[in-house]
Amino acid sequence: MTTVFVTLCDQSYSSKAYRTIQELKTNGQWNGDIVLIAVDYSPDPIPGVTIWNTSHIDTSNLVAQLHQHPLKPMDDNRHFAKLYQWDKLQVFKPYFQQWERVVFLDAGIRVFDSVQPLLDLDWRGKFLAPDDSDPYDNGVRFRVQLDLNANPEVLPKLFQEYPESILDEHYFLNCMFLYDTALLHQISFEEMEYAMNRYPICMCNEMGIMNLFMTFKLRVWEPLPQKAQDKYLFGWSERNYRENPTWKNFHFIKYSFTG
């Protein structure tokens, strides 16, 4: 059984990616394969890391649709200013079929303890990622990931392929995920890229499309357990927890303010 850890960045996020990789090797105690997807730049060699150079996927059609049918604005202007987020779909290209299991970490995720509890999870035939309603079920469901009023032509297409009931289902965060590459025989990068342009109503860019495929089409998503023995496996931020934990209580954190 082979496993690869993957992160992705353009040049502007490279320092965050390098820190994640360094912590993965040290705090995470990972000595296996690591791939850095470098989008539109050529980083210097990194010991023990395979650099996979690629180009930004073509989002021109999507952007044209968003200009015609704008989505509700986000504080970070992600629909136009963070188009590189869509490159996360490239983690589903055939290149990754040379491994049986892929673990993806956003550039900048903090790794504070061993990755082993994550690797010990049952993963065959599955896509594992955090539930966005954790840690206490905040009631948020998939409808918040779509702007249902932005483009009247899109909803009929969506509900032709998916039941309207998906709007009230749980969904995953995709800042960190693990998947069985056997799933790439059921879906492809090209299908996801096509869906990007077919459903230009995703509030969080590629995360909506990934959920359409993994959560609602294939039904292979399973939430990561919140804890691995006495520590939290993943947290968005320590601020989300009533117990007032610090970085020492986590294996992975997206935005840490104590560590």
Question: What are the pLDDT digits (tens) for 12-38?
Answer: 999 999 999 999 999 999 999 999 999
Q: What pLDDT was estimated at residue 259? A: 87
Give the chain's residues under pLDDT 50. Answer: none
What b/e string do you get for 190-205 counting C-beta neighbours within 10 Å, with b at 16 or more? ebbbebbebbbbbbbb
For the domain bounded by 3-253, which CATH number is listed? 3.90.550.10
| Rounded Cα–Cα distance for residues 140 and 158 (Å) | 20
- The continuous run of DSSP H or E covering 228 comes out as strand 227-228
Mean pLDDT estimate for the chain:
97
Specify the pTM: 0.97
Q: Are strands 227-228 and 231-235 parallel, antiparallel or unpaired?
A: antiparallel
- CA distance from start to end of the chain: 33
The full set of domain ranges for the chain reads 3-253
Q: What pLDDT was estimated at residue 48? A: 96
Q: What pLDDT was estimated at residue 1? A: 75
Q: Which residue is listed with tokens 């963070």?
A: 82
Q: Are strands 50-54 and 33-39 parallel, antiparallel or unpaired?
A: parallel
DSSP codes of every residue in 105-142: E-TT-EE-S-SHHHHTS--TT-EEE-BTTTTTT----G
Alpha helices per DSSP H over the chain: 14-25, 60-68, 78-81, 116-119, 154-161, 189-198, 206-211
What's the distance, CA 230 to chain centroid? 25
| Rounded Cα–Cα distance for residues 227 and 244 (Å) | 15
What's phi and psi for 111, nearest 5 deg? -115, 110
